[in-house]
């Protein structure tokens, strides 16, 4: 993989907003204080959950610069993010102040790999963070079913997906767990689509399974060769 571009997505960290072209040099990235010898990073690998798609389901290679807000119970956190998909790897790199590495989260053919240097636990499981990324930015219904001013449906495993399509763009996407293990729906509203990369400029995800809301605003898109 070309390390000149990375993905930065972080839960509960305020990070610098970085794009693919202007990524910090290796010497500019500092380990976080918690990654000292007395507190080494914690690493783990797990198999993808049933709700994760293969990375290559998204055919294009992209880097997205974003702002993210998460709300759950009576709490709210905001942070900057950059999301990258390249080839068969989806990578999330969380940065703290002065570009210190908070954590890395990778999805590839071998599964989910998570390394935490922050010294604090994430509020959600790594697989759930990746699943939300895919629910917003990945295609879930085959392109041959596409239409305008309509609703379309598909089933993937135990997931039923429905989409509301406007005159030009996707307006809303819903997920229902047909197995009955999770009640409620995951609902995503899409707004302000960007021409470059055909990416939503704003997406609001309400997770009725676990009771939280994500707002993702994308300000910059880089298409990778």
Domain ranges of the chain: 26-223
Cα–Cα distance for residue pair 111/154, rounded to 1 Å: 25
- Measure Cα distances from 104 to 74, 112, 129, 153, 220 in Å: 27, 11, 12, 34, 21
Question: CB under 8 Å to 49, separation ≥6 — which residues?
Answer: 127, 131
Nearest to 164 by CA among 185, 141, 144: 141
Cα–Cα distance for residue pair 68/217, rounded to 1 Å: 6
User: Which pLDDT does position 104 carry in this prediction?
Assistant: 75
Query: Are the beta carbons of 69 and 75 closer than 8 angstroms?
Result: no
User: Which pLDDT does position 54 carry in this prediction?
Assistant: 92
User: Which pLDDT does position 198 carry in this prediction?
Assistant: 86
Exposed, middle or buried, 183 (CB in 10 Å: 0-12/13-18/19+)?
exposed
User: Which pLDDT does position 7 carry in this prediction?
Assistant: 39
Provide the residue-wise pLDDT of the chain in tens; the chain has 225 residues: 444 444 333 333 333 333 333 333 334 444 444 433 334 556 766 555 668 899 999 999 998 888 888 899 988 887 777 788 999 999 877 666 665 667 778 899 888 998 887 776 776 788 888 899 999 999 999 877 778 899 999 999 899 999 999 998 999 999 999 999 999 999 999 999 998 778 999 999 999 999 999 999 999 999 997
User: Which pLDDT does position 214 carry in this prediction?
Assistant: 94
Domain 26-223 has what CATH class? mainly beta
Q: How does the average pLDDT of the chain come out, rounded?
A: 78
């Amino acid at each position: 993989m070309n390390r000149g571009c990375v993905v930065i997505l972080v839960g509960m960290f305020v990070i610098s907003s970085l794009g693919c072209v202007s990524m910090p040099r290796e010497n500019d990235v500092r380990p976080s204080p918690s990654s000292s010898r007395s507190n080494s990073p914690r690493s783990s690998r797990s198999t993808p959950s049933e709700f994760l798609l293969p990375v290559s389901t998204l055919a294009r290679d992209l880097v997205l610069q974003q702002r993210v807000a998460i709300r759950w119970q009576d709490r709210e956190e905001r942070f900057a993010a950059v999301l990258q998909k390249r080839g068969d790897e989806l990578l999330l790199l969380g940065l703290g102040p002065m570009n210190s590495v908070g954590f890395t989260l990778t999805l590839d053919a071998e599964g989910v790999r998570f390394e935490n240097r922050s010294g604090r636990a994430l509020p959600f499981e790594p697989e759930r963070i990746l699943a939300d990324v895919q629910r917003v930015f990945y295609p879930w219904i085959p392109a041959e079913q596409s239409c305008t001013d309509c609703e379309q449906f598909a089933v993937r495993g135990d997931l039923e997906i429905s989409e509301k399509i406007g005159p030009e763009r996707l307006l809303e996407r819903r997920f229902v767990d047909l197995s009955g293990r999770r009640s409620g729906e995951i609902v995503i509203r899409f707004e302000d689509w960007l021409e470059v990369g055909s990416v939503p400029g704003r997406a609001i995800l309400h997770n009725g399974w676990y009771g939280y809301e994500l707002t993702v605003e994308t300000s910059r898109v880089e298409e990778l060769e």
